[in-house]
Amino acid sequence: MNNGVIWLFMEVLTHVPIALGMAEFLYFLKSRYFSALVFFGGQVVCEILNIILKRVWKGGRPASRGKGYGMPSAHSQFMGYFIGYIVLFVGNRLICSESKKATVFWSSAILSVLVSFSRVYLGYHTPWQVIVGFFAGMATALVWYMAAEVIAMKLGLVDFFLGWGISRHLEIHFPSRITIEEPASVTRFRQFFKIQTVHPKPDYTACAEFLVDQADEIGLESKLAQGKQIVIMKLPGTDPSLKSIMLDSHTDVVPVFEEFWTYPPFAATIVEQEYGDHKIYARGSQDMKVTGSMQVFGSSSFDCCFWKKTQEKYVYAVFAPDEEIGGTDGIGGFVETEYFKEMSVGFDLEEGLLGADHRNVFLYAERGFSQVTFTSHGNTGHGSQFIEGTAIEKLFPVIEEVMNLREQERQKLLALNDGEVTSINLTGLKGGVQANIVPATYSVTFDIRVSPLVSLEEFHQLLLDLGSKHGTKKNSITHVDKSDPFVAAFLGVFEDRKLEVIPIICPGATDARFVRPKGVPAFGFNPMRNYHILAHDHDEYVLESEYLYGIGVYEDLVTRLANV
């Protein structure tokens, strides 16, 4: 009997826990996935608990096989933990069809039962020792999962751990969801990417048609504003007298150099990663079709989504064009319309920057544009002569003074963030007709982004004193003051989620610069973290798990803001 096929099969099964333990550890080394580390760590804790229980109960084994104490069975406790954790993880964190989840459940359950049965069949344990071990393992899985992936998350301990130097060195990360098949919200997201709203000829018509279709499917009212295809989705509230919430995002994207992309920039190619997550490569995946997508497209994928709830305030999702080229014909024009006034916006949730590490940032102000060209006129003549008072000579002191100011601001940058200093870059020199003729006219252009901490009037006067040609608008700041109920609600979500957030001045410019002067507080925010930031760069991508995580964060934000 001991040499029979069944006996040999049981001998193989009894070594399965060793193979599984090694596989769990190797999977963590390969993926650097936080939950893989937690899974393996819990397995180690379960083994330590088994050693303690055996020494406490001191239950003997059957006389035929084995040495040492037998109560409870270590193999069955291992498998009890294994199936218990699989059930919790797959049920809460894995996104796939119910049939695939059932396949994972049942295959893991059958394997766990067979391994446990093999210990009785081979005479190493009594049935009671196996049963106690199995349920002890399942109890360990439940407690460990709740402690490590639920309570620790709410207390902010996961982010604290991911912020350690060793965690960053090992590149340990925490996707909030793992997918086996593509969620509907991701499918819509990728469809949005494929619409080529790229300058200089963005296809705003196709984009608007797509967004209106999405609104119809979700069950939202939609409207096309006059001008360049601004799409407005509306969710009515219970009290129209209250100030509304506006979710503001832009639909245009910057040009691409396709030869430098690994995947076509408008194919929305999805690439599976070693650790089970997926990267989606597309222009706009970081800046900034991703924001509007997280705010709206996730709604039809989650039964508990915000768009199916009842709230006090009206909520408007506004998809606007032309932000990447100044926004004058987009949000800039829209805020001057009667419809915008009728919306009675009380708070604007704008696009933000991705987090480069475990922290988030939100934007409460931004620098102003001051792109200026200095043009000088001087004496001309043949290049072989020493000509005095040339146009280029007259530009030298202007360039020197502006570049000195640039160096002063660069030194400030060592102690402040990008948005708190004024950036100055010489971006163009123009003039001359051929090499042997001294030009009569020459010009220099600077791109200047003025910090909102600096008086624009005084700065412009400085440029006027240098003889500049310029045109700018005054910028406003949304003060981070919890006495404002909208600000308090916004920050309250981060406190509840134990997220570390840093308020900063936007180093560039967003459409919020048109909204704030209308007396509407506006914060720019993107919930995604731990990113290699590639906005406007080649191979721009988004992680599927972070996108799905962001949907949940936005749901919390909008729900809280709409019920202030």
Taking alpha carbons only, the member of 5, 135, 1, 118 closest to residue 66 is 118
Distances (CA, A) of 204 to 209, 321, 326, 512: 9, 8, 16, 21
Residues annotated within the binding site for Zn(2+) are 250, 287, 324, 351, 536
Active site residue 303: no
Residues annotated within the binding site are 250, 287, 324, 351, 536
Taking alpha carbons only, the member of 301, 307, 203 closest to residue 251 is 203
Cα angle for residues 262, 30, 98 (degrees, 5° grid): 85
Q: Given 323, 348, 420, 546, which residue is catalytic?
A: 323
Q: Given 252, 277, 350, 409, which residue is catalytic?
A: 252
Separation between Cα atoms, residue 407 and residue 410, nearest integer Å: 5
Q: Are 360 and 504 in contact (CB under 8 A)?
A: no
Which two structure tokens, joined as six digits, stand for 19? 């193979």
Range list of H helices, 163-251: 165-170, 184-194, 204-218
Which two structure tokens, joined as six digits, stand for 216? 């119809």
Separation between Cα atoms, residue 246 and residue 347, nearest integer Å: 6
According to DSSP, the residues that pair with 366 across neighbouring strands are: 506
Question: Which long-range contacts (C-beta less than 8 Å, at least 24 apart) are formed by 340-343?
Answer: 340/518, 343/244, 343/246, 343/314, 343/316
Gyration radius of the chain's alpha carbons: 31
Which two structure tokens, joined as six digits, stand for 100? 């695939």
Q: Return phi, psi of residue 385, to 5°.
A: -100, 155
According to DSSP, the residues that pair with 56 across neighbouring strands are: none
Question: Which long-range contacts (C-beta less than 8 Å, at least 24 apart) are formed by 219-223?
Answer: 219/307, 220/307, 220/317, 223/339
Separation between Cα atoms, residue 173 and residue 35, nearest integer Å: 9
Active site residue 252: yes
Prior bond of 72 cis (ω within 30°):
yes
- H/E stretch holding 341 reads helix 338-343
Range list of H helices, 413-505: 456-465, 485-497
DSSP 517-560: GGT--EEEE----S----TTSTT-EEEHHHHHHHHHHHHHHHHH
User: SS3 string of 454-479?
Assistant: CCHHHHHHHHHHCCCECCCCCCCCCC
Count CB-CB contacts under 10 A for residue 383: 10
Taking alpha carbons only, the member of 171, 94, 118, 150 closest to residue 10 is 118
According to DSSP, the residues that pair with 151 across neighbouring strands are: none
Prior bond of 233 cis (ω within 30°):
no
Residues that are catalytic: 252, 323
